[in-house]
Structure 1
Amino acid sequence: MTRVDAALRPLLDGDGVSPIADIAAARVQRRRASLDRAGVAPAVREVVEVPEARLRLYEPMDRTATGALVVVHGGGWVWGGIDEVDVLARTLANATGRLTASAGYRLAPEHPYPAPLEDVTAAVAWLTENTGVDPGDVVLLGLSAGGTLALAASARFRGTPLAVRAQVLVYPMLDPSLSSASAGRYATIAPLSRPRAAWFWSQYAPAGPHAAPMLGDPEGLPPTYVVLAGVDVLHDEGVAYADRLRSAGVPVAVKVWPGAVHGFLNMAGLAPELCAAAVNDIAGWIRTGTAKP
């Protein structure tokens, strides 16, 4: 196993295998843990709640871009929410100089595919129609299950006036087969085991794997940055999808953080230096990846 960042190593001993008997209780536990690990929320110029669009908007301290960044939270489509990525969204807003929107969505199993995807696409449409941002300069950033939704939204908007400028997929959930080498290597470790990832897929897409965007045509998708944790069930499927994008002519770059585990970008309270470096790296790619000719 790759050596894990010392601050994140205790997470490997958590229970990521036991069946979830009570989803409501698991959601409360997950929320509490996420908020405890998130770190200190940096100041931004303004925060605006838009409940009708399931959005929270963050005006950075210094807005330097006319476009927007949309953050789509993770949680296996079953738990998670915009509160749990509040620190990250604030940090990204200031780091990118973009109006940043954190997009919420209905959760499975109460609301399986396509409901979460419909909520994300509706949120992006609302953002471009109501905030004055440049509709041709919207970047989607999705974490874990949110990476799946960001990618699927990019595919839906492809070739339309809402076509996404670029996308950042952070340890995305892409392959419901979970058959990669890393899925076997890290099958039983927390914070995301293979059985838990399979359970998430079963809750989100009970009708089958058609909800996986990696099964679709990657041609014409926007420039993509794939950010991966070195010790993660999902590592190899992220690498494989980047290869698919590259073969389809999509500009793509991959960044692997060797000592990181799944979900690390929301853990600035545990590993502040690692998270700061990753955020700065992502912000740097967004600046260069969206630079106009």
Structure 2
Amino acid sequence: MTSGVEEIRAELDPALQAVADAVAGSGLPPMVELDPDGARQRIRGALQPCAAGPEVDTVTTHSVGEHVTVRIYRPIVSKPVGTVVHFHGGGWVTGDLDYADAICRTVADRSGAAVVSVDYRLAPEARFPAAVDDAATVLGWVAAGSEGLDPRIVVTGDSAGGNLAAVCTRLVRDDDRIELVGQVLVYPVVDADLSRDSYAANSGTFLGAREMQWFLDHYCPDATERTSPLLAPIQAADLSGLPPAVVVVGGHDPLLDEGLEYAERLAASGVPVELLKYPTLPHGFLQFTAVSTAAAAAVAEIATATARLLEEADAQTNSNTGGAHA
């Protein structure tokens, strides 16, 4: 397929170019030279460029199973349209509930749905497929109506969280207990191939091949497992029967080409796909909404697209049940 770098890339958003220049001139060692704890501390200390999300009605924390904690955001104006389950980014090694706080608040506010943010286990302490197991456990917990949650689920995630969302969407496809009605994949990791053209063009702006190699080595050290659909959903032979998808890509993201190809493969398999393309934005732009108006506008559009998936699923439910929820 044609590289997305040629197709959609435009000049990097000036505000984010300034951030990239500041990072380059900071004198800090590259993340790949840190251990996982050091990388986590750096990520936690770098959340200031992310604008705080809107107020919500309540935020509560719950344990799910033996290993997982979730944070539930309930909006001020609630609608019976379903539940969003969100998996944070961070390369399966970094990131936490605070990392995803702003996007979860924004989605809850825009959609009127409860948002369940998942604090899955991180590598290398818990390697592949532990995060997949945790993600699937939470989907089952929500589908069972735990904490009064609407069991109709739109699953969302960014980067490694987008990977978990894509993987689990396919993993639970034939599980009649779990009703997935949509998936929102924000610059998702869907492959472990670091030789794509967009890696060559876009490495060095917030994420590159070295960083992805570092993440993969911690999460899935056995390279022979990296073609498993549980890690690389683009390698799955069959993507049919999956719920409608929103796929989000940035023009300055090393993951651009795999995101575009995955959207094409979903569409070719009969899955309704909305592709949101942001030519001026890099990987990780959810975290830069306080400094980039382009990033803030993109986040608002992603939240609106998530709300639209919920509304369409709710309309279909009402149509099938004569106006009453099942």
Q: TM-score range by the shorter chain?
A: over 0.9
Amino acid at match of 1:11: V
Structure 2 gap ranges (5+):
1-8, 317-326
The one of 85, 106, 115 equivalent to 2:121 is 106
Structure 2 counterpart of 1:283, one-letter code: A
Q: For residue 277 of structure 1, what is the aligned residue in structure 2?
A: 297
User: Secondary structure of 2:270's partner?
Assistant: coil
SS at match of 2:183: strand
Q: Does the 8 Å CA contact 1:140/1:168 hold for their aligned counterparts?
A: yes
Tell me, yes or no, if structure 1 residue 2 matches structure 2 residue 7. Answer: no
Identical aligned pairs, as a percentage?
35
SS at match of 1:71: strand
Asked if the contact 1:17–1:195 (Cα under 8 Å) also holds between the matched residues in 2, the reply is no
What TM-score, normalized by structure 2, do the two folds share?
0.84
Which 5+ residue runs of structure 1 have no aligned equivalent? none
Choose the corresponding residue for 1:289, options 304, 309, 320: 309
Match of residue 163, structure 2, among 135, 144, 148: 148
Q: Does 1:172 align with 2:175?
A: no
Structure 2 counterpart of 1:157 = 172
Match of 2:46 among 17, 28, 33: 33
- Partners of 1:270 and 1:276 lie apart in 2 by 8
1:51 aligned residue: 63
Give, in angstroms, the shift of residue 125 of structure 1: 1.7
* Structure 1 residues 18 and 72: CA distance shift in structure 2, 3 A: closer
Q: Which residue of 2 aligns with 1:203?
A: 218
From the superposition, tell whether residues 11 and 234 of structure 1 become closer, same or farther in structure 2 (CA, over 3 Å). farther
- In the alignment, the residues of structure 2 paired with residue 171 and residue 65 of structure 1 have an alpha-carbon distance, to the nearest angstrom, of 28
2: CA distance, partners of 1:197 / 1:186: 12
Residue 153 of structure 2 aligns with which residue? 138
The letter for the 2-side match of 1:29 is R
Amino acid at match of 1:197: M
Q: Alignment partner for residue 66 of structure 1, among 73, 81, 89? A: 81
Counterpart-to-counterpart distance in 2, 1:178 and 1:97: 38
Deviation at 1:63, TM superposition (A): 1.0
Out of 256, 260, 278, which is 2:281 matched to?
A: 260
Q: Report the CA distance shift for 1:104/1:19 in structure 2 as closer, same or farther (over 3 A).
A: same
**Structure-1 residue corresponding to 2:260:** 239
Question: How far did residue 122 of structure 1 move?
Answer: 1.1
1:270, CA displacement in angstroms?
A: 1.7
User: Residue 163 of structure 2 aligns to a residue in which SS?
Assistant: helix
Aligned partner of 2:193: which letter?
Answer: S
Larger Rg: 2
Q: What amino acid maps onto 2:19 in structure 1?
A: L
What letter corresponds to residue 18 of structure 2 in structure 1? P
CA distance in 1, matches of 2:13, 2:34: 31
Q: Classify the secondary structure of the residue corresponding to 1:82.
A: coil
Query: Given that residues 288 and 296 in structure 2 are in contact (C-alpha distance below 8 angstroms), is that contact kept between their aligned partners in structure 1?
Result: no
Partner Cα separation in structure 2 for residue 276 and residue 109 of structure 1: 32
* Aligned pair partner of 2:134 in 104, 107, 119: 119
Matched, 1:251 2:267: no
Show CA shifts across 1:152-205 (max 9, x none).
111111022203110000000111112221111113x13101111122122212
Count how many residue pairs are aligned between Structure 1 and Structure 2: 289
Task: Give, as a single letter, the amino acid of the residue that structure 2 aligns with 1:51.
Answer: S
What's the secondary structure of 1:107's corresponding residue? coil
Q: Which moved more, 1:63-72 or 1:248-257?
A: 63-72
Secondary structure (helix, strand or coil) at the match of 1:83 reads coil
**Per-residue deviation at 1:134?**
2.9
Q: What is the alpha-carbon distance in structure 2 between the residues aligned to residue 38 and residue 18 of structure 1? A: 20
**Aligned-partner SS, 2:241:** coil
Q: Give deviations 1:250-269, integer Å, cap 9, x for gaps.
A: 11121111111111112222
**CA contact 1:154–1:163 (8 Å) conserved in 2:** no
SS in structure 1 of the partner of residue 99 of structure 2: helix
